[in-house]
Amino acid sequence: MGRGFPVFFCLCNFAWDNVILGIVFGFLTERILMRARNFKNTSQAILILAILFNGQLFAQDSLITVKAERGDGILSLLRKQGVNPYDHYDDFIAMNMDNLRDSVHLYAGRNYRIPPVKIDTVPIVDSIQKKAAEIKKGVGKEYEIFGKKHSVVVSKSERLKEAVYYLISGHGGPDPGAMAIYGGKSIAEDEYAYDITLRLAKELLSHGATVYVIIRDPNDGIRDERVLKIDRDEVAYIGKKIPLNHVARLKQRVDIVNKLHKMNRGKFQRLIVTHVDSRSKGQNIDVFFYHHQKSKNGKKLAESIHATFGKKYKKYQPNRTYSGSFGDRGLYLVKNTHPAMAYIEIGNIRNKKDQKRILEPDNRQALAKWISEGVILDFESGEIGRIR
């Protein structure tokens, strides 16, 4: 690549203050772009700049502390500091446990410690930012269903490479599910169940799983707003209109899942159904898990997710009692679908205290991540009996 590059990498090993770092970065940017003609193409030069932008070479060893502003959540605060909020959400909570309301909410005006990751410290021109985003897309895989902002899934592992998951969010189409009013606006269960389901799908895909999202919205990807706009345009896999009749609607989902299950016969398969209407108590977001009474693998899946939630509550919310549970339940989807399954009820959208937690996008992301960790635990513990 030329004799200048050993010097380039050597410089990056020193701990510079921000002013010197900015001068060095500007100098290197100019030199790299000028020497781009020596590369096979300019994308190699841009890749090096993108690495700088993402902080892979310029790292901060000291712990960063930032003040939360009104309206900040954990996700937005981490994003402002150039930190991937989904990779470092748990680290942030662990580092700031004593300074969080209900163990998940920020106090405006207070200082919070940022996880010590490699962070960019220098403003980058828009053109380089765009090129960096393009390179990120090249590393990951795009899925339109998650929306433009969240479309890229970057691989974290292949721990779920041999697993197949069917995800159903409750209600949808002509049926919004439970309704409530928040801040003078109507909110619907199906919008929040769908958002959590999409976040879960993205987590599972990042670990190599094959994922089928059974209820889909053509224009609502993952959303980071508190109040999610209600619509009625959800469809069933693939592009099927959702029936108005309740029994017909459930039967449609059962038929789709069972047909896919037959197609994937011989593989490790699981079904996860998500609703937002549980029988919660007090201030907790109590999550309930159900399975078919005769399904040992369904019970193991529900137990794995339930155990993960118990550990998370104990770690991040030690002063609060988790009253969620798992057990068998004779629901239509539970009784009639073929894959081992877990039916999850997350909070009560009509409960004022639960609303605040369900509406917070940080919480929806945490719920999806915790469910995914339980799913991984279930997969890695293996199948009970023969895979059918």
Task: Assess contact for 71 and 40: CB atoms under 8 A.
Answer: no
Whether the per-residue pLDDT at 42 is higher than 70: the answer is no
Mean pLDDT of the region 264-287: 77
Residue that wins the pLDDT comparison between 18 and 149: 149
pLDDT of residue 188: 95
Interatomic CA distance for residues 147 and 218, integer angstroms: 9
Residue that wins the pLDDT comparison between 344 and 388: 344
If pLDDT is split at 50, 70 and 90, which confidence band does 370 have? very high
Angle at 341 between CA 313 and CA 234, to 5 degrees: 90
What are the beta bridge partners of residue 328? Answer: 291
Mean pLDDT of the region 226-230: 96
Mean pLDDT of the region 43-50: 50
Mean pLDDT of the region 261-283: 82
Give every strand in the sheet of 163-169, ordered side by side.
210-213, 163-169, 268-275, 340-346, 287-291, 326-328
**Model confidence pLDDT, tens digit, residues 291-318:** 888 899 999 999 999 999 888 877 766 6
For residue 46, cis peptide bond before it (omega within 30 degrees of 0): no
pLDDT of residue 260: 98
**Model confidence pLDDT, tens digit, residues 240-271:** 999 999 999 999 999 999 999 999 999 999 99
**Model confidence pLDDT, tens digit, residues 129-173:** 455 555 555 578 999 999 998 999 999 999 999 999 999 999 999
Q: Where are the domains of the chain?
A: 4-58+120-137, 64-114, 141-380
pLDDT of residue 23: 47
CATH number of 141-380: 3.40.630.40
Fold category of 64-114 in CATH: Membrane-bound Lytic Murein Transglycosylase D; Chain A (3.10.350)
Residue that wins the pLDDT comparison between 227 and 61: 227
Least confident of 129-133, 151-155, 228-232, 355-359: 129-133
If pLDDT is split at 50, 70 and 90, which confidence band does 8 have? very low
pLDDT of residue 201: 98
CA nearest to 316, candidates 372, 375, 369, 381 = 369
pLDDT of residue 279: 53
**Model confidence pLDDT, tens digit, residues 83-126:** 888 778 878 988 898 898 766 789 999 999 999 875 444 444 44
Task: Assess contact for 84 and 78: CB atoms under 8 A.
Answer: yes
If pLDDT is split at 50, 70 and 90, which confidence band does 203 have? very high
Coil, helix or strand at residue 89: helix
pLDDT of residue 4: 38
pLDDT of residue 151: 93
Q: The tokens 């189409």 sit on which residue?
A: 173
Residue that wins the pLDDT comparison between 65 and 127: 65
pLDDT of residue 34: 54
pLDDT of residue 320: 60
Question: Percent of the chain beyond pLDDT 70?
Answer: 71
- 366-to-91, 134, 376 alpha-carbon distances in Å: 12, 27, 15
pLDDT of residue 122: 42
Dihedral in degrees, nearest 10, Cα atoms 213, 368, 206, 326: -80
Average pLDDT over the chain reads 79
If pLDDT is split at 50, 70 and 90, which confidence band does 331 have? confident
